[in-house]
Amino acid sequence: MTAPTATGDGVGFRSARGPILIALMLTTGLIAIDSTVVATAVPSIVADIGGFTSFPWLFTSYLLAQAVTVPVYAKLADMVGRKPIMFVGIGLFLLGSILCGAAWSMPALIVSRLVQGLGAGAVQPMAMTIAGDIYTVVERAKAQGYLASVWAISAVVGPTLGGAFSSVGLWRGIFFINVPLCLLAMWMLGRSFHEKLDRVRHRIDYLGSTLLTVGLSLLMLGVLEGGQGWAWASVPGIGTFALGGLLLVAFAVVEHRASEPVLPGWVFSRRLVLTTALIAFGVGAILLGLTSYVPTFLQGVLGTTPIVAGLALATLTLGWPLAASQSGRVYLRIGFRAAVLIGVVVVIAGTALLAGVVANGASVPLVATACFVIGLGLGLVATPSLVAAQSSVEWRERGVVTGTNMFARSIGSALGVAVYGAVSNHIYSAVGNHGPTAIGAASTAVFTAVAVTAVLTAVAVLAMPATRYRAPTTALAADAQPATRAEDTSADDARG
């Protein structure tokens, strides 16, 4: 059991927990910026160290390493505490940044990005979990709004920073700038965030962790490279999925016998945890579909500059934190499921609007407006569903629950990109005229598919159990303050 030493006096930078919040925002910002900063620096990187045909792996290696390690870090955080795992994550991200800055070839840079991804896999879920530990259910929405705002800022800062460093021939600076920021975040967390842990001897599930990580890596690799790096029906395409599936079957057998499984079976048996993970899966797919194809449509069909396209897309990440920060007022009044349902209806309306305007003569303001509406809806979907899942468990399970949610979003992103890519390529090839007309038709098909994804996500929301909330009196961890738990109103599903 643990209890944060800083207790409730509001959410903000000047509160007792303010330094912790700043440190969480800083570490989240590092991850968010590094997800986008490389994109605008690719031309300079290739011109310096070569490897044009391999540069997509700069993104693939980072995404793979980040996604597949989340469940392992989450379980370890429930065993040894959040702080050590966060420090490991920041340390790996720091090491990866230094290696990236010193890379002498594209293969070396790809491996260095993989190390960065290993760190990012710990940092993002730990930031969310720590916020869930130190803030009450009332406060968590506002705290998650602060963290979500980091992504909004990074959506603009990342590409701009990458372009600025590249324009003066200093692309290595986009990685070296992480060094002082990582050290600052570690110092702030070390100074402000303290945990009280019971000394319990744990048995780490090394075999299960290895099988899960390798198996998921192969499946993610198959999804990311299928139809691009190799044909779906090729030997690598089929073999990657087959071997990954076999390793996950072996993982399930090992976990059934493990005393402390890395991914406990109750994750799949508790309706609240399972449905919120499915909702996160949908959120990831919708988010990546928009961020991947909105700029392509604006530049390829409407002829906008990359900066204008980026600003139009940024309205998505502006609407998200605005809604997330205010979602607490909604779910405290009407419950978690009702709040998420309102959010997913807004997302459906926004995606339908986007698909409609793209198919019938879109303009930049209309696209930006649709993205803003979708962002508002996603803020009302992602934050209340995550808070509901976190609040349904005690401290010793919250890391796994948060990690499962983040992992589901990553898998949704990867699978969404693969599916939307297949849709886009099919329509693009069918049109034949590989110009604005083909790009417009492909974009319309993709945004229609995103709208369908939003409808399917609504099905998961409807399956989410109704929960009620009883106000706590202090901001301790949920196991120290049972009143912070979200409780299912149905007697047969009290654990969510």
Does the pLDDT value for residue 470 go beyond 60? no
Place of tokens 């440190």: 23
264-496 CATH fold: Growth Hormone; Chain: A; (1.20.1250)
Out of 268-272, 286-290, 333-337, the most confident range is 333-337
Pick the residue with more confidence: 405 or 9?
405
* pLDDT score, position 53: 66
Does the pLDDT value for residue 183 go beyond 80? yes
Residues in the chain: 496
Out of 127-136, 185-194, 374-383, the most confident range is 374-383
d(CA 404, CA 414): 15
d(CA 204, CA 210): 11
Q: Which pTM was predicted?
A: 0.78
Name residue 286's amino acid.
I
* pLDDT score, position 377: 95
What is the average pLDDT across 315-326?
A: 83
CA 192 vs CA 83, 140, 189, 296, 399: distances in Å = 11, 19, 5, 43, 20
1-199 to CATH, choices 3.10.180.10, 3.30.450.40, 3.40.462.10, 1.20.1250.20:
1.20.1250.20
Does the pLDDT value for residue 78 go beyond 60? yes
CA torsion sign, 272 to 276 to 278 to 279? positive
The 3-state DSSP class for residue 487 equals strand
Residue spans per domain, the chain: 1-199, 205-259, 264-496
Tell me whether the CATH fold assigned to 1-199 matches the one assigned to 264-496.
Answer: yes
CA torsion sign, 391 to 392 to 397 to 403? negative
d(CA 57, CA 103): 14
What is the average pLDDT across 287-312?
A: 79
d(CA 182, CA 114): 17
Instruction: Decide: 300 and 436 in contact? Cβ < 8 Å.
Output: yes
What is the average pLDDT across 184-213?
A: 80
Strands 467-468 and 487-488 turn out to be antiparallel
Segment 339-365, tens digit of pLDDT = 999 999 999 999 999 999 888 877 889
